[in-house]
């Protein structure tokens, strides 16, 4: 089933190992690359426990077909998720959500989040927001993630 949203977004329900449907929303008018959109949405599903450790994901070809993307694009999606420790690629078996704690050092995690925080803060200030408004946006998003996690 494909749902078209008014802002030219394409929502595609995906069925994984457990019987549940999730929706990946692709916004073709966004400046954010489709690869990054999918990576972020899969990470969000992991953080909110809609995708659980050890759970098998669709193959590169299956995901490409589901999202109407080139298999090279979906391969890049899984490669990035593997590089970031979100998934594990097991040759001949498939792609699975990684189990256990993050394989990265505290220093790496701090540096990565600091770079992203600088970008977020710079954009907020560039738009004329005050520091407390930028923090308010972050707090609101955190609360929304927690609500989704509690419902799962």
Residue-range definition of the domain harbouring residue 147:
106-151
The reply to whether 69 and 10 lie within a common domain is yes
Residues 88, 16 share a domain: yes
How many structural domains compose the chain?
A: 2
Specify the pTM: 0.74
CA 81 – CA 119 distance, rounded (Å)? 21
Which pLDDT value is given to residue 106?
Answer: 87
Model confidence over 112-122: pLDDT tens digits? Answer: 899 999 999 99
Are 51 and 111 contained in the same domain?
no
Do 76 and 114 have their domain in common?
A: no
pLDDT digits (tens, 9 = 90+) for 86-109: 999 999 999 999 997 777 888 988
CATH number, position 74:
1.10.10.10
Q: Could you tell me if 90 and 40 lie in one domain?
A: yes
| Residue 90 shares a structural domain with residue 132 | no
Residues 55 and 126 in one domain: no
Q: What average pLDDT does range 128-151 have in this prediction? A: 88
């Amino acid at each position: 089933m494909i749902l078209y949203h008014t802002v030219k977004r394409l929502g595609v329900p995906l069925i994984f190992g457990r019987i549940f449907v999730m929706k990946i929303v692709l916004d073709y008018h966004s400046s954010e690359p489709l690869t990054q959109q999918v990576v972020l949405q899969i990470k969000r599903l992991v953080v909110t426990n809609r995708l659980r450790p050890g759970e098998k994901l669709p193959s590169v070809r299956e995901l490409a077909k589901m999202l109407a993307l080139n298999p090279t694009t979906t391969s890049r999606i899984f490669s990035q998720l593997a590089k970031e420790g979100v998934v594990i690629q097991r040759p001949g078996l498939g792609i699975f959500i990684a189990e256990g704690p993050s394989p990265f050092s505290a220093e790496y995690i701090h540096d990565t989040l600091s770079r992203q925080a600088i970008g977020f803060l710079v954009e907020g200030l560039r738009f004329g927001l005050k520091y407390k408004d930028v923090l308010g946006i972050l707090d609101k998003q955190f609360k929304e993630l927690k609500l989704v996690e509690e419902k799962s």
